[in-house]
């Protein structure tokens, strides 16, 4: 018998009492103004920057202002001026040295400033290897809590576009951080040192 059969048999044999899936419909915390809460959490707890984009604003200009010293911009978004494209680089390593990666976000969660960033590019390294990351968030995609965020993903799963193009997605809340040395908070551990949300 294979290991697989072994394990499955043992699991079936060793169960005594079974339990049902619980009712998850209890009331969850929601915000009267999720957008305001999202902005608040993003710019405080998450340690990120947030720019409210006004109609007529040029995204490339906003990015340049936010990161004036940036030399290498990476993006596969059609309206972003980029030096590298995560769809066309020959390998992930080629994205090293990116100052600013610019990507599109999906659902955004107010309670914890998480933004769903789907892998809609060939190399997801752009999300982590860039020194700074810019995520475009649309107001109508902001929800109160993670239950609602996962409902949004379930709806996407049921739709033809799915939750992502390449079968990966990540909720990102602010820049990379660690407090592993004497509990001292440091931004920019292994991934982005800074994160900016462009709120459209």
Q: Are 117 and 77 in contact (CB under 8 A)?
A: no
Q: State in angstroms the smallest separation of the CB of 99 from other proteins.
A: 12
Query: Both tokens of residue 37?
Result: 């809460």
Of 50-58, 60-68, 98-106, 107-115, which segment contacts other proteins by CB under 8 A? Answer: 107-115
* Conformational region of residue 33, where left means phi above 0, alpha means psi within -120 to 50, and beta covers everything else: beta
Q: How far is the CB of 134 from other proteins (least distance, A)?
A: 16
Cβ of residue 28: shortest distance to other proteins, in angstroms? 5
- Binders of other proteins among 77-96, rule CB under 8 A? 92-93, 96
By CB under 8 A, name the one of 149, 197, 198, 199 that touches other proteins. Answer: 149
How far apart CA 152 and CA 176 sit, in angstroms, is: 25
| Residue closer to other proteins, measured from CB, 65 or 178 | 178
36 touches other proteins by CB under 8 A: no
Judge residue 74's burial from the number of C-beta atoms within 10 Å of its C-beta, 0-12 exposed, 13-18 middle, 19 or more buried. Answer: buried
Q: Are 163 and 157 in contact (CB under 8 A)?
A: yes
Which one of the spans 31-39, 49-57, 71-79, 110-118 is the region binding other proteins (CB under 8 A)?
110-118
Decide whether 151 or 161 has the Cβ nearer to other proteins: 151
19 versus 54: smaller Cβ distance to other proteins: 19
For 110-162, what is the HEC assignment? CCCCEEEEECCCCCCCHHHHCCEEEEEECHHHEECCHHHHHHHHHHHHHCCCC
Question: Residue 88 is encoded by which pair of tokens?
Answer: 């066309």
Using rule CB under 8 A, residue 111 touches other proteins: yes
Q: Considering only residues 37-76, where is the footprint of other proteins by CB under 8 A? A: 41, 45-46
The span of 3-11, 56-64, 70-78, 134-142 binding other proteins (CB under 8 A) equals 3-11
Six-digit token pair at 77? 């978004």
Q: Which of 76, 173, 196, 199 binds other proteins (CB under 8 A)?
A: 173
Q: Can you tell me the distance from the alpha carbon of 199 to that of 39, in angstroms, rounded to the nearest whole number?
A: 9
The verdict on 175 binding other proteins (CB under 8 A) reads yes
d(CA 174, CA 42): 7
């Amino acid at each position: 018998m294979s290991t697989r059969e072994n394990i499955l048999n043992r699991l079936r044999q060793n169960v005594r009492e079974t339990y049902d899936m619980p009712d998850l419909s209890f009331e969850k915390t929601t915000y009267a103004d999720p957008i305001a809460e999202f902005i608040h959490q993003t710019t405080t707890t998450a340690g990120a920057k947030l720019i409210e984009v006004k109609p007529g604003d040029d995204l490339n200009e906003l990015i340049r202002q936010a990161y004036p010293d940036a030399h290498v911009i990476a993006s596969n978004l059609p309206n972003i001026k980029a030096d590298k494209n995560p769809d066309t680089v020959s390998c992930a390593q080629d994205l090293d040295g990116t100052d600013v990666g610019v990507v599109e976000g999906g659902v955004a969660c107010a309670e914890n400033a998480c933004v769903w960033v789907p892998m809609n590019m060939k190399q997801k390294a752009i999300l982590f290897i860039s020194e700074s990351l810019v995520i475009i968030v649309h107001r109508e995609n902001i929800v109160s809590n993670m239950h609602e965020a996962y409902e949004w993903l379930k709806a996407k799963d049921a739709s033809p576009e799915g939750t992502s193009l390449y079968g990966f997605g990540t909720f990102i809340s602010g820049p990379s951080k660690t407090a592993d040395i004497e509990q001292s908070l440091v931004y920019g551990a292994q991934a982005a040192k800074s994160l900016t949300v462009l709120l459209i």
